[in-house]
Amino acid sequence: MSRQPIADQFDQPIIVLELPARVGSHSVTLECTARQLADLEMLTSGAYRPVTTFMGYDDWRSCVESMRLADGTLWPIPITLQLHSQVLPASTCEIRLMHQGRHLATMEVMERFTPDLAREAEMVYATSSQEHPGVVALYEAGDVVVSGPLTIHALPRSFTGPEYLTPLETRLAIRDRGWRTVVGFQTRNPVHRAHEYLHKVALELLDGLLLHPLVGETKSDDISAEIRMRAYRTLLENYYPRDRVLLGVYPAAMRYAGPREALLHALSRKNYGCTHFIVGRDHAGVGDFYGTYAAQELFDTVDPAELGIEIIRFEHSFYCTRCEHVASKRTCPHDSSQHLALSGTKVRSLLSGGAMLPAEFSRPEVAAVLADGYRSV
């Protein structure tokens, strides 16, 4: 693996403009949905750079068709502000983006267009099935897209806690630790032994690990971010070297777009200072919509120099009862009868059924946190 130093130059902090709110006949006040809030947070924090506002038509169309912005920059998923046309008068020139009565940003509306949602679903999600949660969310979000420059009044913060670090703050923390190579790990699932295996294999090769669980909107049956974060803290306190791991949060909403979302996860982690990124089995997938290694295969089509972050690929891992540890087919000689499949889906299934996770699935301290979290829901 190549060792690329983290850049010494850091972006300036986001400037928040304390401007008086203007409300008139051509203004619309919008209470952001969870997904809109997550997208706004990623845009305003710099996590989605070079995308800094909700996309207009040219960027949307190019992104859908070619995984690139209109200027040719690699970018796999549209970040748009979809609204329902019946609540958006044609004369609208300004949208006030709100959350729980707080004025977060103002968009000066410069574009308005009707997106081809069927085309977006097929190209981005590779399906139009209403069984896919990302497709459902796409169609429910609205029939019109608006775009224009954003004026930020208050930075959105979806998560409270010391783990909330903006991209700039994360890069500074990495610099302070003296790490020259940093591997990012993305998950929306509760932590299990297979995750720990991936982390520690990567730490044998690289200076530091950014544990970066997604805390934005997920499916209703996913385990809450609060419980997952408690599990991560417990694991790190007991089983990881403290000077080699940085725990942060990734405020994005989950789209379940499989390969394209894996590419988005990698590109945005560059903004957090990662030089490497882990892509394992069915990254960002849901159900049986994508092949087991479809995400890894998409990276095969991208020029590594353009990608700008090195991908660490892992095959499916499992607990081998003969080896008595987590392994993969690369390291374990035993047949599948000796293997216990480890996955977030299996962990959720056991917890929802009231079962305690066995030691082969999860460290006992972590299992206790997850079980307690499920009982309290």
Give the active site residues: 188-189
287 contacts: CB under 8 Å, gap ≥ 6: 131, 132
Answer whether 195's CB lies under 8 Å from 161's CB. no
Q: How many residues does the chain have?
A: 377
Answer whether 186's CB lies under 8 Å from 278's CB. yes
Residue 198 vs residues 191, 267, 312: alpha-carbon distances, Å: 11, 20, 10
Please state the three-class secondary structure of the chain as a single string. Answer: CCCCCCCCCCCCCCCCCCCCCCCCCCEEEEECCHHHHHHHHHHHHCCCCCCCCCCCHHHHHHHHHHCECCCCCECCCCCCEEECHHHCCCCCCEEEEEECCEEEEEEECCEEECCCHHHHHHHHHCCCCCCCHHHHHHHHCCCEEEECCEEECCCCCCCCCCCCCCHHHHHHHHHHHCCCCEEEEEECCCCCHHHHHHHHHHHCCCCEEEEEEECCCCCCCCCCHHHHHHHHHHHHHHHCCHHHEEECCECCCCCCCCHHHHHHHHHHHHHCCCCEEEECCCCCCCCCCCCCCHHHHHHCCCCHHHHCCEEEECCCEEEECCCCEEEECCCCCCCHHHEEECCHHHHHHHHHCCCCCCCCCCCHHHHHHHHHHHHHC
